[in-house]
Amino acid sequence: MTTIHGLTPWWEPIRSHIHALHLSTTSEGIAIACCDSLGRVASFSSGYIGSPEFIHQPIINEHTKFQLASISKFITACLVLELSLRGKLKLDEQIQPPHNILNVPVTLGQLLTHRAGFIDTAGTLGTIDGSRPFWTTEYWQNNKSHLHQTETVGEYHYSTWGYWLIQKIIEWRLEIPFEQLLQRWLCFPLGLTATTSSSPKTTDSTACWGHDSLGKPLAYGWRHFQGIEAAAGVWSSAADMGLLISHLLQPKFTNSKGAKLLVRLSDLIAVPSCYGYQYGLLLTSINREKVLLHTGTNPGYHAVLQFCPKSKAGFVVMTNLECLNIFNQSLVKYMEWLMVDTAGLAL
């Protein structure tokens, strides 16, 4: 237990019970990272990576990689906001990609908040080849059954395709692949060593193998989401997510030009006075306190991310199980209660 000036981190009840309560004899597992208002970060884990590639199963630790599923959108928003703060992108610029493929121009701000007029009809997009130039008439026409900019721009409609378009726009504008942008502007400045949009090999002992809702390993480990990583295909670890959460919760200084990473949690709040989807996070309330959160579910994975701005605390829970089991559901509820109701610290 770590105690500073008599203050015990809010997550200690979680740490003391997770190893005893989690069914670590199963093939799937869990990793958690937490942060408090003093800037302290803790990560802990239980279970195994669950890959049939290994006779002796590697145990999950703070550096084990999980697929973040839709929390990839949060990572993408952090990257786009960082590029905006650096003057490389503009959130409010009206953008019409080549060949006028959109019905009406949109802004990155509208795409980040799911207010660019898109709706999804295809569900999971991992089977669609997103690697081709997105403005080619053939590609766009062939995928119109999955992509519709039919709603009023400015109205909220959650859309994976909107974040696919973000990835394609920033790659087009900056002429740099998404993975290189992610590493250069987000991962390298914070020292994030496991966060990537590149799928690991199935023989990688640092990557969790996905499991369906019954706990059975997926046939090929995981879906690759090629070309749409910004929406659903980013990987990360508890250690990396803890560093990012801690950084975002830090106050913004007036003279921050020399900072390694400029973006903060406050930058991700598009409209502070309104609940709803902001830049990569949903602004809602828990126990009458404002909370920013995102969840993610991919075939084989589930993750939950939450911030409490008032208590300056946050956490992430990542599993290589497609849905939260009863233990993990109770764990998330307990953690959000501790984070909000103890103001980030338990005396």
pLDDT at 237: 98
- Angle (CA) 44-47-52 rounded to 5° is 135
Say which range, 38-47, 75-84, 142-151, 189-198, has the weakest mean pLDDT.
Answer: 142-151
Please write the tens of the pLDDT for every residue from 95-131. 988 777 788 899 999 999 999 988 775 544 444 444 5
Cα–Cα distances in angstroms (integers) from residue 305 to residues 93, 294, 313, in the given order: 29, 5, 11
| pLDDT category of residue 68 using cuts at 50, 70 and 90 | very high
Q: Which domains does the chain have, with CATH numbers?
A: 8-71+194-346 (3.40.710.10), 75-174 (no CATH)
pTM, rounded to two decimals: 0.90
Let me know: does 237 contact 195? Beta carbons within 8 Å. Answer: yes
Phi, psi of 118 (to 5 degrees): -95, 145
pLDDT at 56: 78
The helix or strand, by DSSP H or E, that contains position 57, with its residue range, turns out to be none
Cα–Cα distances in angstroms (integers) from residue 131 to residues 106, 227, 231, in the given order: 22, 5, 14
| Both tokens assigned to 150 | 């039919």
The gap between the terminal CA atoms of the chain, to the nearest Å, is 13
